[in-house]
Amino acid sequence: MDSDCLSSRSSSPEFDRESPQFLSGAMFQAHSVGQRLTTRGRVKAGETELTQENLQELRLKVNSRERQRMHDLNQAMDGLREVMPYSHGPSVRKLSKISTLILARNYIVMLSNSLEEMKRLVNDVYGSRRAPGRASSLPTRVQQLPPVMGTVPTSDYATYLSLSSSDICQPSAAAQHFLGLPCPCHICQYLPQPPPRTAAAVSLSRPRK
DNA sequence: TAGGCCATCTGGTCCT
DNA sequence: AGGACCAGATGGCCTA
């Protein structure tokens, strides 16, 4: 993933959890503070008497778990960044966590709106073609449309909906559509335009370091 | 240099 | 009881 390469710091740096080597700088300071707080000999925790060594060992264990938990969280965040638009350009720095979440939320809303719009349009197309007296409800398979436009080839939508290929644009036409050129097909004419790449990218990301 | 972002430690709370 | 989760504190790195 290129966003990892863009970052000056890895979200999940390599480290040896069992080694005290990773206790440097702030970490060592914080660790020392912890030591100072527990230098009064034996400490009682519940029914178990903990020596200073045991307490320190426990503290390291807990810290390690928490570190691992945060690394897992960061990995999930990286996974989210990977599927987000606007985050792969060479001039775009790795999205911050808050930006990633905000952008993801907006992206989901946009996709949901697109899906609803497409369902409505398909309903219109299907409804105008149905035979008189035929039930007007959409076939189940239409209601089970893939949630994200673009996750299946455009031609598959026609098969999916039992439409003729003339009802839905071909990949080349779709490409034209997304290049900003008009596409004459029923579907593309009413699909919402993809958002401009600049707005979110500029407002939600910083230039690469 | 201030501010943003981040990793880490830590203690408290909740859950199994 | 032990682990997961959370939020506050702290200090480092980077950019404007």
The fold adopted by the segment(s) A51-128 is MYOD Basic-Helix-Loop-Helix Domain, subunit B (4.10.280)
Residue at minimum CA to C1' distance from nucleotide C15: A209
**pLDDT number for residue A79:** 86
Name the nucleotide with the smallest C1'–CA separation from A96. B5
The answer to whether A91 CB is within 7 Å of strand C is no
Q: Give the integer Cα–Cα distance in Å for A11 and A13.
A: 6
The answer to whether A93 CB is within 7 Å of strand B is no
Where do the domains of chain A lie? 51-128
Q: What are phi and psi of A190, to 5 degrees?
A: -115, 0
Our separate counts of H helices and E strands in chain A read 9, 2
**Which nucleotides of strand C lie within 7 A of protein CB?**
1-7, 10-16
At A7-63, the pLDDT tens digits run: 333 444 443 333 333 333 333 333 433 333 333 334 443 344 567 777 778 888 888
**pLDDT number for residue A200:** 35
**pLDDT number for residue A18:** 36
List of chain A residues with pLDDT < 70: 1-50, 86-92, 129-209
The answer to whether A65 CB is within 7 Å of strand C is yes
Using an 8 Å Cβ cutoff, are A96 and A208 in contact? no
Q: Give the integer Cα–Cα distance in Å for A113 and A192.
A: 9
**pLDDT number for residue A141:** 55
Strands A43-45 and A48-50, sheet pairing: antiparallel
Residue A103: which of A92, A116, A91, A90 has the closest Cα? A92
Query: Which tokens belong to A128?
Result: 């105008």
